[in-house]
Each structure stands twice: as structure tokens, then as C-alpha cells.
């Protein structure tokens, strides 16, 4: 996968994640490609968000397709997660669903 394909895959999957887990309490960052707000809860509007998840592109794609477990990536230092709502393990891997179908409600934190 070249850099352009990697960027497209990351952007598409992160945006799909944000649609499946809507909200504004967690900022999910996969630099340098994309950052989104997701997960229901208190909305963040100014300054550094209290709940941040950051990872690299390859790790994110592995989390999204289920080939990498959240706990393993955290233990290996491939994910930086801070804040009480930053554990995204209950929302991964991404669910494949037909276009236009509403997402299932996520866990309540």
C-alpha cells in the first residue's frame, strides 16, 4: 500500500468510526492523516481535549479490522490514550454495515 492509499484507508476508516461512535468527548488522532471527535459524553470546545487517543496509521488499520487488539497496542506503546473516556476497545473492530444503515448505540461511559 503506497502513502496515498494508506492516507485514504485511514481517513475513510476513522471517519466511519466517528459515524459509528458519534460524539465530541474524545479526539481520535491518526497523524498526519486525520483527527476526529467521537464518543458520546461531555462536549469539548476549547484547548486540549481531556480525552485523546493517538496512534499511527498501520496500528489504526489493524484496530479497525480486528487484526490488532486494543490491549496489545496499548501495552506495546502503539496507542497513546489519555482521559477517562479514551478506551475505545468496546467500539473496535469497526462493524461493516450496508450503506445508509444507522449505527448501533455504543456502550455508555
- CATH code of the domain covering residue 58: 3.30.1050.40
Query: Is 33 contained in some domain?
Result: yes
pLDDT per residue as tens, the chain (109 positions):
899 999 999 999 999 999 999 999 999 999 999 999 999 988 767 777 789 999 999 999 999 999 999 999 999 999 999 999 999 999 999 986 544 444 444 443 3
As given in the structure block, the three cell numbers for residue 10 are: 485511514
Task: State the pLDDT at residue 43.
Answer: 77
Domain count, the chain: 1
Q: What domain range is 28 assigned to?
A: 3-83
**Would you call the peptide bond into 76 cis, given omega within 30 degrees of 0 as the criterion?**
no
Query: Is 89 contained in some domain?
Result: no
As given in the structure block, the three cell numbers for residue 37 are: 471527535
Give the containing element (helix H, strand E) for 72.
helix 70-75
Amino acid at each position: 500500500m503506497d502513502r496515498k492509499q494508506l492516507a485514504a484507508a485511514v481517513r475513510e476508516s476513522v471517519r466511519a468510526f466517528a459515524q459509528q461512535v458519534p460524539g465530541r468527548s474524545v479526539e481520535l488522532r491518526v497523524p498526519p492523516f486525520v483527527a476526529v471527535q467521537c464518543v458520546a459524553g461531555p462536549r469539548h470546545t476549547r484547548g486540549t481535549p481531556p480525552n485523546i487517543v493517538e496512534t499511527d496509521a498501520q496500528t489504526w488499520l489493524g484496530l479497525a479490522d480486528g487484526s490488532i487488539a486494543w490491549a496489545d497496542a496499548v501495552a506495546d506503546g502503539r496507542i497513546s490514550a489519555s482521559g477517562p473516556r479514551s478506551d475505545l476497545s468496546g467500539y473496535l473492530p469497526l462493524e461493516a454495515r450496508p450503506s445508509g444503515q444507522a449505527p448501533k448505540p455504543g456502550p455508555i461511559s
